[in-house]
Amino acid sequence: MNVPIPRLLPLVAALLLAGCATALPELPAQPEPPVAFKEAGRWTQAAPAEAQDRGRWWQAFADPVLDALVAQAAERNTSIQEAAARVAQARALVRAANADRLPQVGAGAGVGRQAGANTATGAAPATLWQAGVQFAYEPDLFGRATGRRDAAALDAQAREALLQSTRLLVQAETAQVYLALRAIDVERAIVRETVQAHRSTLHLTQRRHAAGDLAELDVVRVEAEVAATEADALALDRQRATLEHALAVLVGDAASQFALAPADWKAQLPVIPPGVPATVLARRPDVAAAQSSLLAAQARVGVARAAWFPDLSLTGSGGFASPELGDLLRWSARAWTVSALLSLPIFDGGRREAGVQQAQAELDAALARYRGEVLVAFREVEDQLASLRLLHEQAQAQGRAVDAARRATTLSDTRYRNGLVSQLELLDARRSELRNRRQALQVRSAQFQATVALVRALGGGWDGPLRGDASPPATELARTRP
């Protein structure tokens, strides 16, 4: 029995109202930003800024070589290229999901051989030629297609945030590897000076042993110290080679073709003002990605629940059909059909319920993942703020040690020239100075590494909303000359 379409409208309206009553699951309360970080003072409020430009924060180090390496990594790093391809893939899925909400129109032609009482020649086989246009449309009464489109759009947002996160990660790793390499360049120079000082001590000790002033044990001890320092220098050479190879991968070059000549460490240690807890959540791209994935999982729960409601499909076709090819385009050969199909699943063996449970489990996992990202964001900022504070105090203490060692070397040199101390005591003072200079260099290198790590933890540069209240002091980083 054919039912006129106008008589179906009340049923469709009732189903539409029922579909509108389907709501997305509510999410539990999320972690609230703290009023202040444990390692800093009071904070200001900041608007969401996940789309804000992270800025060229690496330029604060005032090193042209670092600027060039970061620019090269942005163009040639394979991790960034892969993340960009994932974004393009996610955007294509959004367009595909959006297409499901629109009418589908196609054209086709065909020929078939059939037999039966309904054919033009009775039961005898006949050929039927067809050509026409097909139309299909499924009204989105209960939001299934819209939910799939929204979930795909949120997935695309998550991919874009992950691309931003990958860029920030590559920038930070490039800066950290480069700064570590430059620190090793300076440290190698200090160790070479130390080796020369130990060798001078060894020569003097050997002469005094030959003259009978010292025992052989003193010579062996100095020889052991020389050998250990030479081994230390070789270990630094190995570390530099490893860092250079890692830097090659970050900038998209083969390690065999990449070389960065040793140079003086000219980078400056910037001063970073305190940030804002809310800004960390708003600016960190990994947190933004986790949030978008959480909302996408929530949308998919709604799609799974909508599977309990009926489907309405509207189809139509129009064209020509004829047993003779020459009569196919005649007006008398025209044919058309219009149909509406309303289907309601009754028993599916628990498939729809399983789909809802699966979507809910994915939502629970996405929620836990998002909460974890938030907590990790707070921890990383606290870690780097604590590191910078303690490294600042350590640098000050080590700076006093370097000053005292230099003063001791100067006094020993004066006393040696006046014949008050031996040359051995002067060499000991120089070795002590070199040791303290090396330790000061290592502290300074750790300050650079912690600075870059804090930038990464804050989600990028510290301009704009990252400016804190004027009352808390900025994170001052001491500079200790090696």
Residue 439: CATH number of its domain: 1.20.1600.10
| Run of H or E including 315 | strand 311-322
Q: Say if residues 343 and 311 touch (Cβ distance below 8 Å).
A: yes
* CB-CB contact of 15 with 310 (8 Å): yes
Q: In angstroms, rounded to a whole number, what is the distance separating the alpha carbons of residues 132 and 183?
A: 75
Instruction: Examine residue 61 and state whether it is found in any structural domain, yes or no.
Output: yes
In a domain, residue 18? The reply is no
Tell me if 109 is assigned to some domain: no
List the Cα angle 199/201/204 in 5-degree steps. 110
User: Could you give the number of structural domains in the chain?
Assistant: 1
Q: What is the pLDDT of residue 105?
A: 81
Return all residues near 247 (Cβ < 8 A) that are at least 6 apart.
Answer: 69, 174, 177, 178, 181, 258, 260
Rounded to the nearest 10°, the torsion over CA 170, 266, 274, 50 is -30
Taking CA atoms, 27 is separated from 154, 291, 298, in Å, by 16, 12, 8
In a domain, 282, yes or no: yes
In 3D, which of 262, 236, 304, 225 has the Cα closest to residue 25?
A: 304
**Could you tell me if residue 4 is inside a domain?**
no
Q: What is the arrangement of strands in the sheet containing 311-322, beginning at the earlier edge strand?
A: 104-114, 126-137, 311-322, 334-343
Question: What pTM value is reported for the model?
Answer: 0.74
**What is the extent of the structural domain holding 389?**
31-100+128-466
Distances (CA, A) of 47 to 165, 235, 276, 279, 280: 19, 48, 10, 7, 11
Ranges of the chain with pLDDT below 50: 1-21, 35, 41-52, 276, 464-482
Q: What are phi and psi of 90, to 5 degrees?
A: -65, -40
The reply to whether 172 falls in a domain is yes
Q: Is residue 15 part of a domain?
A: no
Do 174 and 69 touch, CB atoms closer than 8 A?
yes
Cβ neighbours of residue 225 under 8 Å, at least 6 residues apart?
A: 198, 201
- Residue whose token pair is 């390692």: 39
Residue 2, CA atoms < 13 Å, CB-side half-sphere: 5
Q: What is the pLDDT of residue 173?
A: 93
- Residue-level pLDDT at 235: 93
CA distances from 435 to 160, 229, 231, 441 (A): 48, 11, 15, 10
Residue 1 belongs to a domain:
no
